[in-house]
Structure 1
Amino acid sequence: MQTSMALLMIGFLGACTDNTVDPPRIQTVADVVTANSDFSILRDALEYAGLTGDLRQGNLTVLAPNNAAFQASGFADAAAVRALPTSTVKSVLLYHVLGFRIPASAFTVDKNVVIPSLQGGNVYISKLAASSGVSVNNARITKTDIQAENGVIHVIDRVMMPPTRNLLEIAQGNPNLTYLVAAATRAATSNPAVVSSLTSTSSAFTVFAPTNEAFIAAGFPSIASIQAAPAETLAAVILNHVLPGRAFSPTLATGNVAAAGGGQLAVDVSSGVTVKGKGSTQAAKVLMADMLATNGVVHVIDRVLLP
């Protein structure tokens, strides 16, 4: 009995002095988001949309807006997100999820690299130089390579909205762009390319869209005055506001760019974003940037860009 008790004590003491430490468990993407207080709005949005479980499986890249990103995009808190329909929140969140792992080392110097999202639409990744940061659509990546068991998280500074309308439909849906729609419609009677570029399903364009006030300041006091203007003149003016391709604000740089009408536009990003037509005396300020369309990008400006 004493021998058995001694062996039992030796075994017990050996177990007590075992210094083996289990390795830390690697968390899933959902676990990482849940545990990080800087993702509290995102965490609540995922729960509201019923997507928390989806981020615990697969092999994913999540472009994760932090709380500051939600606030910069007009969502003050989780309640503001929950004020939207569940289906809308789900669509927006899935637009931030890619179906495979993309580490920061895979971001090469390129512009508007097309990557499909789990929402169904594409995101556009840009890195303008080896030493520059990386942007996705209108958002900048502020932190990379937060590792998870089933993927990687890159933190972004804006919430990206998936496109649902083409360029023309965005203009038609904005009551402050009715003069632009009238001008494009009138211009198309001379040059059908004006409207076809705004509705294209095969090519992408960037439109600097002057407000109604901008047209009034340029000498068009009413829509009737636009409809009475020579169609050829309006076509030249409208095409001077269009750039081939998608030009998100993080990819704009100070310098000249060629407009679709053949003219040159002077872009300056030293203090905000301004753009100036060759025939303009003053640069236009971008009032609202990066409205993503199915076929391009819209930036609302406060002046007409004369060719």
Structure 2
Amino acid sequence: MISCKEDEGELVKRKAMTDVIMENPEFSMLKDIMQRAKKSDAFRSQNQTLLAPSNAAFNKANIFSSSVITSMPDTSVDEFLNSHVIKSVKKYSEFEAGSLATAAKLKLGVTKKDSVITFNGAKISRKDIETANGYIQVLDSVYVKVIK
């Protein structure tokens, strides 16, 4: 009989939020925005929840290129990105109706009807993508107004 002992160094670790965004074509616009805001390290190390608009969500808002956001001033790009960050780790089932503040201090209206949760009207199209430092909740639309 042969037995294998798992060595802690051999265990497969979850990817950091940055890596999930960087490697997934569904988030190519978000990736560009994150790089422009110089937030790659923050999304790698900080424990948080990201309400991530997918490329389809940007397209639904008539944003077909990340340059619409990346061409804005640094502070606006940073604020846009932080408007999608919750500074705590939350699974989909842990969100409650009411209001919720983002890292940019944007107050989101959270509604919960049956099993559907929306943030300022944006629904979660894919929930609980687990990363090494939190969860990504994929939005079906962009819920913040883009200020030029």
State the TM-score bracket (shorter-chain normalisation). 0.7 to 0.9
- Give 1 or 2 for the bigger CA radius of gyration: 1
Query: Offset at 1:117?
Result: 0.7
- Residue number in structure 2 paired with 1:119: 104
1:76 aligns with 2:64: yes
Partners of 2:99 and 2:108 within 8 A in 1: yes
Matched residues, percent identical?
27
- Residue number in structure 2 paired with 1:137: 120
Call closer, same or farther: CA 1:35–1:163 in 2, change over 3 Å.
closer
Query: Offset at 1:19?
Result: 8.9
After superposing on structure 2, the runs of 4+ consecutive aligned residues of structure 1 that deviate more than 3 Å are: 18-21
**Residues of 2 paired with 1:79 and 1:68: CA distance?**
16
1:86 aligns with one of 74, 83, 103? 74
Structure with higher RCO (Cα < 8 A, 6+ apart): 2
TM (norm. structure 2) is 0.86
- Residue number in structure 2 paired with 1:272: none
Per-residue displacement from partner, 1:136-155 (whole Å, max 9, x unpaired)?
A: 00211111100011110000
Aligned positions of 1:260-275 closer than 5 A: none
Aligned positions of 1:1-307 closer than 5 A: 22-108=10-96, 110=97, 113-129=98-114, 132-161=115-144
Per-residue displacement from partner, 1:175-224 (whole Å, max 9, x unpaired)?
A: xxxxxxxxxxxxxxxxxxxxxxxxxxxxxxxxxxxxxxxxxxxxxxxxxx
Partners of 2:69 and 2:146 within 8 A in 1: no
Structure 2 unaligned segments of length 5 or more: list them: none
Count residues with an aligned counterpart. Answer: 142
**Residues of 1 paired with 2:93 and 2:68: CA distance?**
35
Query: Offset at 1:25?
Result: 2.0
**Residues of 1 paired with 2:145 and 2:84: CA distance?**
9
TM (norm. structure 1) is 0.43
Partners of 1:41 and 1:77 within 8 A in 2: yes
